[in-house]
Structure 1
Amino acid sequence: MGKNIIIIGGGIVGLSSAYFLQKEGHQVRVIDKSDITSGASFVNAGYITPSHIIPMASPGKITQGIKWMFNSASPFYMKPRWDMDFFKWSWYFYRSSTVQKVEKAIPVIKDINLLSRDLFEDIKASGDLGDFQLERKGLLMLYKTDKAYEHEMEVARKADHLGLEVKELNQTDLALIEPNVQIDAKGAIHYECDGHTTPTEIMPKMLAHLRNVGVAIHTNEEVLDIGIKGDRLSEVTTDRGQYKSDEIVLAAGSWSGELSKKLNLKLPLQPGKGYRINVARPTGISVPAILMESSMAVTPMQGFTRFAGTMEFSGINSKIRKERVQAIAYGARNFYPELEIYQEEIDAAQTGMRPVSPDGLPYIGKSKTYSNLTFATGHAMMGWSLGPATGKLVAEIIGGMRTAMDISAFEPSRRF
């Protein structure tokens, strides 16, 4: 018999959870404090990335962050501030950034990304959302220096060993694969295993489908409290009403940590802000790329090319730092010298906050404190890529089914 389920959070993870839970016959209600037209699920690079096997918490990352701390235009910016939650998270991040922990995480990240890539294809084949962009042109890791090349080749060797499709490209190869744009790079590592989409196309289609099949979508409604009865959560109170449920899914992205505090639960999480610029005119770019020395992403989407990047730890806020947006424009010009991003395109930049766990792995699984609470958050830069896989796993967890993969690495109460 189907359950009455409340999902807190209407980003790609929350909506994917609703999608798969509804298919299992559950009555689903999604509650989001926004109108679900902006945020991380709308401004991301749209990548489906089995190649992203290295978690953000890796050796040298904290040192790099400290080095860049006083440069607000740097790709990895940690705003100096007195914040005990941030201090604890930083310490956990440091403890997670070891070679041993990274090596342990690599196969798990690969598996959940491949699962999600297959599910994106299944969703498109189902026709539930109608047609949408889903391409497998791979991802170019463009580099200018030998140092960047050597760094990425270490990752490429690991990816190849795991069976992912990857090859090296020289400048001649690049000109063949991208004939309509000049690229100033020594070469690229081409991860042919990757795909890309247009998030601003998929999100509205997913919302429309969910409404059509009976999922209740509550927008502009903020969760104020969650009732507790023994080892269970009884109801969700918002600024508009109160809702009882059999199960609750916490998929509130960067707000998940604050909501966990209402339940006396510790969920180490920090919002990592990213920015995007859209160029809605021909750029000649046809293959997604990461510009390594500029630490940014480029994606040819439906009707525009997106330039996205940066990781900014400055707490929960929607402030757009102009110097960070300008750095994206400069970074793009550095690799595509004939490309000019206009000031009005820079001024129209948007931002979104990605929920980052200390070890770079998501929190997916049942709470050990409350028997009817399931976590689905903390995906960092892979939230879009891992949305469908997380939704599928959530449906399996709540349905008491065997999960499609081992999820022990995503245990919400894991120690750091």
Structure 2
Amino acid sequence: MPDNTTGRRHMDLLRFATAGSVDDGKSTLIGRLLYDSKAIFEDQLDAVERTSEAKGHGYVDLSLLTDGLRSEREQGITIDVAYRYFATPNRKFIIADTPGHVQYTRNMVTGASTADLGLILVDARHGLTEQSRRHAVLLSLLRVPHFVLAINKMDLVDYSEDVYRTILEEFTTFATKLDVPDLEIIPISALQGDNVVDRSVNMDWYKGPTLMHHLEHVHVASDRDYRDVRFPVQYVIRPKSDQHHDYRGYGGTVAGGVLKPGDEIVVLPSGMTTTIEAIDLFGQELDAAYPPMSVTVRLKDDVDVSRGDMIARIHNAPVPKQDIDAMICWMSTTPLQPRQKLAIKHTTRSARALVKDIQYRLDVNTLHRDPDATTLGLNEIGRIHLRTTTPLLADVYAQNRTTGSFILIDEATGITVGAGMINN
């Protein structure tokens, strides 16, 4: 879409999350993407080269660019979500390097929740593992619209086309059980650079795109909801200067639809209707605002609007609901139990919630549902019913990942203990 403030082409942004089993090479792959796209500083590269030489690797260990935590380097695994930013002439990228180990499933869910694309790595020598399937299921549950299966370490299987075909057929069959709208399977060697940024001369039998080419050109604009206008109000802006004494705007991030001056809107939950007078961004008025832009909306009439309210179209507004049916990933060592009371945060609105019941626990390895489950433990996923004290202006997660999601918070500690996706 055009950049309305300057008239220049607005550079697209792709958020993608990496996933895979321990030692499948996620950190090395991200290091290779940063290295081959010239997105690292010389002093960073010098430090990595010195460390690699001191360890006697005989090659530049690109994983050192991303395994930033001391505990990660000591254990040789990724623990927390590491975010990396880089850009090419065609697109800007935000990478969420998520943990591969089963005990850090909650971190993986956090990193992938906002991703446009999920990048699953498998080791060509081992093929699909339990963790590979687990992460594919999680990405599917999170409604990540684009999948890439990167078959890594092809150099260790002599760049075998037969190995590639076997893993391709196995994953394609498995993906039919999931909701995978777009899938690309690419054979690569993160260590040697084959098919990462540059096309591999060792795999001339592969005719598909390189990983970087696919990341640069995968179409993500249509994945967002441009039909249903959703603007959760985050902040009421009233400057105190004499110059702007009568200015009143409402700041927030567009969660859905396209907002334009002159549009008739309704403010929820009050139900008051008015018209958008202007949309501001950095002191300039815009012709339109769309996801995921952060803007200030000014209204024609002086209606009562505060944080937690939502601006929507008059004839296409979310129905306030207090009974919530949702899938949830539990993130606390203290199990979730029926009748438990928690704080809930949905977009910019906060309330309290009661866990009415646990419908089932989902085994993300087999997709088996256990209806006899009475609790959800750390990193477990299940379907629950909630009752909130205040109606939420929510959509189904499949329709809008922003207005269809929420977090649960322990009121005593203020710690986030669950992340949910609304089903109804």
Q: With the length of structure 2 as denominator, give the TM-score of the two structures.
A: 0.26
| Higher normalized contact order (CA 8 Å, seq sep 6+, divided by chain length) | 1
* Bigger CA radius of gyration: 2
More helix by share: 1
